[in-house]
Structure 1
């Protein structure tokens, strides 16, 4: 798997280097994250959803998503990367899945998005 857009990977070089590749990319990291979740989490009902900042305002904010990654892997649950609010791809993703628990990771910037997630899963 190659995850990310053209600004990160040259499609021709990747195709020439890797014999069989699946590329997952969106217009930005938030849409790419939604596509990753849709690709790898196909079940309709998932145990947990972790909501963390996407790092667009400050790269250091991604540490929250990184730190919950091990727990997310252990519980086979996605981490959704959010900005100040949810974009359309995230709203569609959350509407089409059911989560037993949602957990806000970190703070100071993802409260509005977390509230939107809560309202969508009700």
Structure 2
């Protein structure tokens, strides 16, 4: 029984789903903690989690974008995040990601 659980958890699909659930449930904690916006950037911006967002939960990009907007200390990572938004632009858009695209890519402040 224990071996079956370990095998089902270790499948790539289950790992991605577990990461997505962790990210969903952690949003409340991160956005209500003093240092949470920095921590959400650190977690969501890891390759494993960013890959999970891009493949199965692109709506989480808005929360990561919001964390970047309100956090001034993560500017080097922000440039990489803008590239991710551009990659996902054809499959996912929302007002926050579009705002970042207008300001940081198109330099179109009227559109923003």
Higher strand share: 1
TM-score by length of 2: 0.38
Structure that is richer in helix per residue: 2
